[in-house]
Amino acid sequence: MSNAAAIRPGRPALPEWVRRLPEYLMIWVPLLLSAAHLVSFSLWTIWISFTPSTLIPVSGWVGLRNYSAVAASRNWQIAFDNLLLFGSAFVLLSLVTGLALAILLDQRIRGENVLRSVFLYPLAVSFVVTGTVWSWLLNPGLGIQKLVHDLGWTSFKFDWLIDRDMAIWTIVIAAIWQSSGFAMALFLAGLRSVDTDIIKAAQIDGAGPIRIYRRIILPSLWPITITVVVIQLQFAISTFDLVRALTNGGPGIATQLPALVVYDLMFQRSLLGRGAAAAVLMLLILLAVLLPYAAWRYVQRRRAAHA
Amino acid sequence: MRERTFAPSRILIYLIVLLIAAAWLAPLAVVVLNSLRSNEEIAQGSMIGWPQHWAWSNYVAAWSGFCVAETCAGIRPYMLNSALVTIPATIFSTLLGAVAGYAVSLWRFRGDTWIYGIVTLGLFLPQQMRLLPWTIVLRDIGLINTLAGLVLIHTIQGLSFTTLFCRNYYVAIPHELIRAARIDGAGFFRIFWRIILPLSPPILIVTVIWQFTHIWNEFLYGVTFTSGQQQPVTAALIALSAAVADIPQHGVQSAAVIIAALPTLLIYLLGGKYFVRGLTAGAVK
């Protein structure tokens, strides 16, 4: 490379690193900024979580006091219980809905493309929009309950939105509407990649469609199932906008979730240390999902490499 | 697997699918219809109903009339804010991600696997872990409560996705192509410009659609780092429903929701294939 400059007469021979400076800058600056912000911001937040910071970050060391304060607060406990319920209900139901839709669409249906677009379009709108719209539909004085009452069935009751015990299910409903299509898209891709020779062989052996699904097609989908579960869990853990727009954590704090607690502590109560501790707790919950998944992926890859 | 016949089981399948599809479309239909009903009409019945008089004026009010926190300019300034954040941040993050993806997949340099590994961790790190540091950084560089601040955040954070998308696409380009070009004396930028970019349209479309949709729909950073007139449209919608809580204007609010959702819905309708590709590409991390 360096002799390229020497060939051209009349041009000062710049050192190699100077000539390649734009290239180095272009490669390193964006990647370094991205990597540095991820690492330093994480460490920064972890550090704040061990300080007595309230309105502004201050240095000092309070050990795990912020963590115990957060863990002992009713707000966090409700948020955590809600996350367990919401996370498992949402993941399970969106998985079942997505798989059912994928299997139905896989039956050589006319207008499959249109139907697929219908099930996927909610993914293009924001959680704020989804939450707002469902807050209207599920509002007993405005939406479905009011409609049924106006039609004459006045004893009909569907008021989960204002029912402390059931309100979390309104989040589940909206979340399923929004993201079952995602599970469907992945499952459909999986269904389409099943080896057709095996299916044909089974058909020749006289196996019916239900048997073929149970014995051949569904078992081949489980790696996709795990991926879907992990991604949906990751979404469930960080759910914020949807609740903000749908219930705003209410009635009372009945639909509180960890991400709302973090925001509340940081920006409404100005307890930065506790807010940071709650954020780190969120990260730990996420790691409890992601680390086993990463280990599983690693084993899968090694197995594939050896096979 | 089976022939197209109209056996009872086929009819049942169609019936189920169409019922679910209707349920999926219902929320959109309800909001569209409401956006065309007057506030009084909605107040008399429920939010689910057919317009008696087509109240197109809702859209005028939603676009430039209603008041959020003492400013009566409708949703227009917030739509503009969202556009001014989303368009530059999408372009920057996509271009930088394409260069970075090319660098780590084909150009190769010392430390590339390491830095790429760290950058992709950004796909998983919750936003909550970055809220306080961003607040402090934005304040220190004077970008708090500015659109430029949001552009900066979305560009840097978007790099995790764009680099991953582009890298996974470029990995399939034969290395011999790059090696031959380097022997011919082509440098980093010339190879990118002459070889990589012409091969890139499919992945760039996927990346642009993904980034645009995500940034347009983003709420947490918008509501945390901006306030009042600087807010993106997602934050403004929440502020609107809080502002009209006493005297609901559901017709106008529905029109505002439709307007706010329109850009990403249109992109989805126009680029559906690429939209789905982005979804699945993001899934197979």
So where are chain B's domains?
8-58, 76-283
- Taking the CA of residue A141 as centre, how many other CA atoms within 13 Å lie in the half-sphere pointing to its CB? 5
Binned at pLDDT 50, 70 and 90, residue B255 comes out as: very high
d(CA B186, CA B190): 6
Which residues in chain B have their CB less than 8 angstroms from residue A175's CB?
Answer: none
Q: Are the Cβ atoms of B219 and A127 closer than 8 angstroms? A: yes
Residue A4 Cα, gap to closest chain B Cα (Å):
8
Q: Tell me what the pLDDT averaged over chain A comes to.
A: 90
Residue B85 Cα, gap to closest chain A Cα (Å):
16
Evaluate if residue B229 carries a pLDDT over 60: yes
Residue A13 Cα, gap to closest chain B Cα (Å):
16
**How many of the other CB atoms lie within 10 Å of CB of B85?**
28
Closest Cβ opposite residue B47 in set A129, A136, A272: A136
- Tell me, yes or no, whether A292 and A264 share the same domain: yes
Q: Are the Cβ atoms of B257 and A23 closer than 8 angstroms? A: no
Where do we find the tokens 């126009």?
Answer: B270
Which residues in chain A have their CB less than 8 angstroms from residue B283's CB?
Answer: 182, 186, 227-228, 231
Q: Are the Cβ atoms of B237 and A132 closer than 8 angstroms? A: yes
In terms of Cβ atoms closer than 10 Å to its own Cβ (0-12, 13-18, 19+), residue B22 is: exposed
- Tell me, yes or no, whether A126 and A224 share the same domain: yes
Residue A53 lies in a domain: no
Contact B259, B75 (CB under 8 A): yes
Evaluate if residue B70 carries a pLDDT over 80: no
Q: Tell me what the pLDDT averaged over chain B comes to.
A: 90
A220 DSSP 8-state letter: G
**How many of the other CB atoms lie within 10 Å of CB of B141?**
12
- Tell me, yes or no, whether A37 and A70 share the same domain: no
Residue B109 Cα, gap to closest chain A Cα (Å):
9
Q: Are the Cβ atoms of A23 and B283 closer than 8 angstroms? A: no
Which residues in chain A have their CB less than 8 angstroms from residue B257's CB?
Answer: 129, 132-133
**CATH number of the domain at B76-283, please?**
1.10.3720.10
Q: Are the Cβ atoms of A120 and B96 closer than 8 angstroms? A: no
Closest Cβ opposite residue A244 in set B10, B238, B269: B238
* Residue of chain A whose Cα is closest to the Cα of B32: A133
Closest Cβ opposite residue B21 in set A42, A118, A266: A118
Q: Which domain holds residue A8?
A: 2-48
Residue A61 lies in a domain: no
Closest Cβ opposite residue B122 in set A38, A108, A137: A38
d(CA A210, CA B197): 48
User: According to the model, what pLDDT value does residue B55 have?
Assistant: 84
User: According to the model, what pLDDT value does residue A162 have?
Assistant: 86
Which region, left, alpha or beta, applies to residue B104 given φ > 0 means left and ψ of -120 to 50 means alpha?
alpha
Evaluate if residue B141 carries a pLDDT over 70: yes
CATH number at residue A209: 1.10.3720.10
Binned at pLDDT 50, 70 and 90, residue B87 comes out as: very high
Q: Are the Cβ atoms of B129 and A280 closer than 8 angstroms? A: yes
Which residues in chain B have their CB less than 8 angstroms from residue A225's CB?
Answer: none
Q: Are the Cβ atoms of A42 and B125 closer than 8 angstroms? A: yes
Closest Cβ opposite residue A282 in set B47, B107, B128: B128
- Tell me, yes or no, whether A103 and A41 share the same domain: no
Q: Which of A204-208, A293-297, B105-109 is predicted most confidently?
A: A293-297
Work out the percent of chain A whose per-residue pLDDT is above 90.
Answer: 62
Which residues in chain B have their CB less than 8 angstroms from residue A276's CB?
Answer: 132
Q: What digits encode the pLDDT tens for the residues A126-174?
A: 999 999 999 999 988 888 998 888 888 888 889 899 888 999 999 999 9
- Tell me, yes or no, whether A83 and A27 share the same domain: no
Residue A137 Cα, gap to closest chain B Cα (Å):
7
Residue A59 Cα, gap to closest chain B Cα (Å):
15
User: Which residue of B129, B221, B259 to mutate against A (max A Cβ within 10 Å)?
Assistant: B129
d(CA A173, CA A178): 9
Contact B222, B153 (CB under 8 A): no
DSSP string of A117-174?
HHHHGGGGS-HHHHHHHHHHHT-TTTSHHHHHHHTT-TT----GGG-TTTHHHHHHHH
Residue A291 lies in a domain: yes
* Residue of chain B whose Cα is closest to the Cα of A174: B27
Residues for chain B: how many in total? 285
ipTM of the complex: 0.91
Contact B264, B213 (CB under 8 A): yes
Which carries the bigger pLDDT value, residue A246 or residue B285? Answer: A246
B187 DSSP 8-state letter: -
User: Which residue of A47, A49, A58, A125 to mutate against B (max B Cβ within 10 Å)?
Assistant: A125
- Tell me, yes or no, whether A180 and A297 share the same domain: yes
Binned at pLDDT 50, 70 and 90, residue B38 comes out as: confident
d(CA A143, CA B47): 5
d(CA B164, CA B119): 9
CA distances from B40 to A295, B35, B52, B55, B254 (A): 58, 12, 11, 11, 14
- Tell me, yes or no, whether A34 and A78 share the same domain: no
Q: Quick one: chain A helix, strand, coil %, rounded to 5?
A: 75, 0, 25
Q: Which tokens is B23 given? A: 């349920």
Q: Looking at residues A70-75, what average pLDDT do you find? A: 95
**How many of the other CB atoms lie within 10 Å of CB of B64?**
13
Contact B1, A199 (CB under 8 A): yes
User: According to the model, what pLDDT value does residue B1 have?
Assistant: 47
Q: Are the Cβ atoms of A276 and B132 closer than 8 angstroms? A: yes
Closest Cβ opposite residue B129 in set A34, A41, A209: A41
Residue A80 lies in a domain: yes
Domain count, chain A: 2
- Gap between the terminal Cα atoms of chain B: 31
Q: What digits encode the pLDDT tens for the residues A228-255?
A: 999 999 999 999 999 999 999 889 899 9
* CA diameter of chain B: 77
Where do we find the tokens 């199932």?
Answer: A225
Contact B46, A146 (CB under 8 A): yes
* Residue of chain A whose Cα is closest to the Cα of B272: A117
Evaluate if residue A47 carries a pLDDT over 90: yes
Evaluate if residue B278 carries a pLDDT over 60: yes
* Residue of chain B whose Cα is closest to the Cα of A283: B126
Where do we find the tokens 């219809």?
Answer: B33
Q: Are the Cβ atoms of B48 and A147 closer than 8 angstroms? A: yes
Contact A242, A174 (CB under 8 A): yes
Which residues in chain B have their CB less than 8 angstroms from residue A199's CB?
Answer: 1
